[in-house]
Structure 1
Amino acid sequence: MWGCVRPSDLKPWLAALVLTGAAAFAATAGADPRPQRVVSINLCTDQLALMLADPGQLISVSKLAQDPSSSSMADLARAYPTNGSGAEEVYLLKPDLVLGGTFTSPATVSMLENLGIRVELFAPARSLADVPKRLKQMGKALGQEDKAATMIATFETDLATLSAAPEHRPRAALYYVNSYSVGDHTLAGDILRAGGFDNVAAEAGLRQGGTLALEQLILLDPDVIIEGRDYPGQARAEEVLHHPALHALSGTRVAGTVTDRDWICGTPLVLSAVRNIRDLRLSLEAAQ
C-alpha cells in the first residue's frame, strides 16, 4: 500500500542540492578540507550521505542501500559501489571518513580507528525532531553545512504543513511480526502522532518497542491497526498478523502495511510516512 516513495517526495531535496551545490563548490575551490573519500556502512547514514555529499565525495554505501524494501533511495544508491560493512573491506577502499551507526560493531569501529581512519557514528532517530539533528551532524561531517541547513529548513516547513492537530484523534496500533509494537518514544510512534493518531501501545505502557500480546491488543480495541510487512520464511512469526481475531474486531479497521524504508531512518523522506498516515486518518473521517 505504501511501498513507494513518489518522485515528488524527492524533488525538494534534489532542488536543495542544486541551489547550494555550486556555491559550496566555488567557496571551497583549492585546498578543500572536506573529506574526499567517504564510505558509509550503515543504512541510515547511506541515505543522509546520498542527500548531502558532493558528486564523487561518497565512494561506497552499504549493501542495504540498494535494497528497495529497506532503502528509500535504492534507485540512487545503485550508482554506487557497495560494501559489506567489514573493517578489512572498508580499509581497502582507502577512505578518509567512514560513516556508521552507534550500533555498528564496536570491533569494526575500533579496528578502523586504530588504522588511522576517522569514523563518525550516528545514533538512531527516536523522533521526528531528530531528523534535523542528523542532517546537521552529517552536514558537518561532510563539510556540507549549507546544504544541510537548506534541507533542514525545507523539512521543518513541510512537517509543519503535514502535522495534524485534529479535533478528534483516532486510536491506532502499529503491529508487527512476533506481536511487536512501539510506543510514543520512537520514530514510528512520532510519525503516527504527527499524522493525527493516538497510539494504543502507549496506553498499554509501551514507551519504546516491545511485545503487545494479541489478547491485549483486542482489549484495547483500536480504531485502526496498521500492520508491519511480511518477511518471507518467517511464517510462525507472522501468524499473529493473519489471526482471524484481528479482522473480527468490531469497528476496527486493519489498514495496509508499514513499509520499513519509510519509517526506520531519520531522513527527510519520513515525510512520506507522515503523509500516508495523515491520508489514512482523513479516509477514516470521510467514512464516518
Structure 2
Amino acid sequence: MKKLLMIISLLLLVFTAGCSKQQAADVPAPPAADAAYSVTDDAGRTLRFDHRPQRIVSLTYGTDEILTDLVDIKRIMAYSRWAGDSEISFITKEQAYTVGRKVPENTEAVYALQPDLVVASTATSSDLVRSLEGLGVPVYIARSPHNYQEMCDKIRGIAAAVGEKQQGELMVQKMDTHLQQLQKRLRQIPSSERRVAVAFNFTSAMGRRGDLLDSMLTMAHVINGAAIVADENKSEHGMPAISKEQVVRINPDIFMLPTWNYNNKQDVQGYAYAVMNDPAYRDVKAVRNKQIKFVSDKYRYVASQHIVDAIENIAHAVYPEIF
C-alpha cells in the first residue's frame, strides 16, 4: 500500500510540474523596452531617439506611403496635403480618413500636433526644418531618389528612423521580388524592338537623363526620348525646355500625357486634344498611330516603395501586348 501511495505521489508531482511549465510557456514575455538609438538622415544630419517615435508627422506624399507600410497607422499623426488624391498619392481615402489629418508645411500647424518625429524631404523648406528643430522637434530629411537603388536606400533610412529596420528590409525584399518577376516578362522584348516614348507635363516634354523618370523608363525597357536630346540642351544657364522641333526629330512611338489637375486649373482632356491636333506633331509616329497614353502622375512622380508598380504601369502602357 505504501508503495502504491509513493507511486501516486510521484505521478502527481510530475503532472503538477508539467502544468507549471506549460502555464509559464503560455504567458508571453513582457515586451523589451525600446533602446535608445541614433540615425543619420539623407542630409547627413544625426538624430538621436530615446525610444521609437509614436507621434509621427509626414510632410510629403512619398513619406506618407513609406510610413504607412512601415508602422502601425496609429503612430502617424498627420499625412501631407496630397494624401488620398488618387492622381498623385497611393494613400487610399480610407487610410487618409483613419489618420484624420493633413498638415500644411507650416511650423505652427506641425508643432500643434506635438510630434516626436517629422519626416520631410530635401525639397522641404530649410526655414521650416530649422524652426521645428528650434522647438525641439526631431526632423528626418529623406532624399529625392534618382533611381531604384536610391529609393531602396530612402526606405531603409526612414525605417531606421522609426525603429523598424526589419520591416524596411522586408519592404525592399518585396520590391526586389516584384521587380525580378517584371524583368522576366520584359526580357521578352528584343533590344531592336524597344519603343521610344516622350513624357509631357503641362508645359513641355519631361524626363531628362539621370532623373527618376528616365531611370524608370529604362527599367521598363522603354527608350526615353527626352534623354536623347538632353545633352544637346546643356548650357551654362541650365537645361532649357525641350522644344517641339526636338520632339519631332525624336519621332517617338508613344506620347505620355499628364493626368493630375493639381491646381484645378489644368484641362487634362483639353491638353490631350491640343497635342493630338498640334500641326507640329502631325507626322510624329505617336500622333499618326494614335499612341497617346495617359500615365497617372502618381506613377510618373512616384517617391516610395511603389516604384516597381510605376515601372510596371509604364511598361503596360508601352507594351500592352505582353501583359
TM (norm. structure 1) is: 0.81
Q: Given the superposition, is the C-alpha separation of residues 137 and 27 from structure 1 closer, same or farther in structure 2, using an over 3 Å criterion?
A: farther
State the distance in 1 between where 2:206 and 2:107 align: 34
Letter in 2 for 1:41: L
State the distance in 2 between where 1:71 and 1:242 align: 28
State the distance in 1 between where 2:252 and 2:31 align: 54
State the distance in 1 between where 2:127 and 2:173 align: 37
2:256 aligned residue: 226
Asked if residue 190 in structure 1 is aligned to residue 215 in structure 2, the reply is yes
2:150 aligned residue: 130
- Alignment counterpart, residue 96 of structure 2, candidates 71, 74, 77: 77
State the distance in 2 between where 1:230 and 1:64 align: 11
Native 8 Å contact 1:40 1:46 kept in 2: yes
1:48 aligned residue: 66
Matched position secondary structure for 1:218: helix
State the distance in 2 between where 1:209 and 1:27 align: 59
- Alignment counterpart, residue 275 of structure 2, candidates 215, 230, 241: 241
TM-superposed CA distance for 1:230, in Å, is 5.9
Q: Given the superposition, is the C-alpha separation of residues 277 and 66 from structure 1 closer, same or farther in structure 2, using an over 3 Å criterion?
A: closer
1:259 aligned residue: 296
1:67 aligned residue: 85
State the distance in 2 between where 1:154 and 1:53 align: 16
Native 8 Å contact 2:254 2:318 kept in 1: no
State the distance in 2 between where 1:59 and 1:123 align: 22
Aligned-residue CA RMSD in angstroms? 2.8
State the distance in 2 between where 1:162 and 1:85 align: 37
Native 8 Å contact 2:248 2:284 kept in 1: no
- Alignment counterpart, residue 176 of structure 1, candidates 181, 201, 218: 201
Which range moved further: 91-100 or 128-137? 128-137
2:33 aligned residue: 30
Which range moved further: 248-257 or 179-188? 248-257
Q: Given the superposition, is the C-alpha separation of residues 144 and 209 from structure 1 closer, same or farther in structure 2, using an over 3 Å criterion?
A: farther
Question: Residue deviations 1:69-99, cap 9 Å, x none?
Answer: 2211132223112211211111111111101
TM-superposed CA distance for 1:43, in Å, is 1.6
2:38 aligned residue: none
Matched position secondary structure for 2:90: coil
TM-superposed CA distance for 1:273, in Å, is 2.1
2:315 aligned residue: 278
Native 8 Å contact 1:177 1:230 kept in 2: no
Matched position secondary structure for 2:168: helix
Query: What is the identity percentage for the equivalent residue pairs of Structure 1 and Structure 2?
Result: 22
Which range moved further: 253-262 or 152-161? 253-262
TM-superposed CA distance for 1:238, in Å, is 4.3
Matched position secondary structure for 1:256: strand
Q: Given the superposition, is the C-alpha separation of residues 192 and 180 from structure 1 closer, same or farther in structure 2, using an over 3 Å criterion?
A: same
Native 8 Å contact 1:134 1:266 kept in 2: no
State the distance in 2 between where 1:216 and 1:184 align: 15
Letter in 2 for 1:248: R
Which range moved further: 126-135 or 150-159? 126-135
**Uncovered stretches (5+) of structure 2, i.e. residues with no partner:** 1-28, 36-50
State the distance in 2 between where 1:50 and 1:118 align: 19
TM-superposed CA distance for 1:246, in Å, is 6.6
**Bigger Cα Rg:** 2
Question: Residue deviations 1:237-270, cap 9 Å, x none?
Answer: 9486354337623532433212111232332212
Letter in 1 for 2:282: A
Higher relative contact order (CA 8 A, sep 6+): 1
Letter in 1 for 2:68: L
State the distance in 2 between where 1:53 and 1:192 align: 31
2:119 aligned residue: 99
1:143 aligned residue: 163
State the distance in 1 between where 2:282 and 2:97 align: 43
Matched position secondary structure for 2:221: coil
Q: Given the superposition, is the C-alpha separation of residues 99 and 285 from structure 1 closer, same or farther in structure 2, using an over 3 Å criterion?
A: closer
State the distance in 1 between where 2:314 and 2:30 align: 41
Q: Given the superposition, is the C-alpha separation of residues 55 and 224 from structure 1 closer, same or farther in structure 2, using an over 3 Å criterion?
A: closer
Which range moved further: 275-284 or 107-116? 275-284
1:211 aligned residue: 241
TM (norm. structure 2) is: 0.73
Matched position secondary structure for 1:62: coil
State the distance in 2 between where 1:62 and 1:52 align: 16
Letter in 2 for 1:211: A
State the distance in 1 between where 2:199 and 2:246 align: 13
State the distance in 1 between where 2:71 and 2:222 align: 35
